[in-house]
Structure 1
Amino acid sequence: GKEKKAGEELIQESAKKQKVEDEKEISKLKQLMEIILDKEEVAINAIHLVVKSPRIVDWKID
């Protein structure tokens, strides 16, 4: 509705006003994103190990 459109307009306006001059900020954000993605990957791998565990497979069958 109207709220969503107003929200989108606010985001666009703030994006226009926000000119990132400091590339260090961008690189910090990229590093943070990489850390977050690495942690997610580790979590996903851990889940796969748990799912592939024969004990859990046997438990599900019983």
Structure 2
Amino acid sequence: MDRRPRRRPRERRPAGEDPATVADLAPVVLAAAAPYRRADGSYLFRNAFRWAVGRAPAG
């Protein structure tokens, strides 16, 4: 039997951002996606976005 202590699972965060940043940026992302929203509420993306925005780790 394995007697090593179990690690606590890490909290998963989208794209490495803290929850406050995600909440601040959500309206921007939704506004950019608005033209691709379908009548049923889903989105249809076909090579619609040419750019990706990200942050490089500091240091």
Larger relative contact order, structure 1 or 2 (CA cutoff 8 Å, min sep 6) = 2
TM over 0.5, yes or no?
no
Which has the higher Rg, Structure 1 or Structure 2? Answer: 1
- TM-score calculated relative to the size of structure 2: 0.28
- TM-score calculated relative to the size of structure 1: 0.27
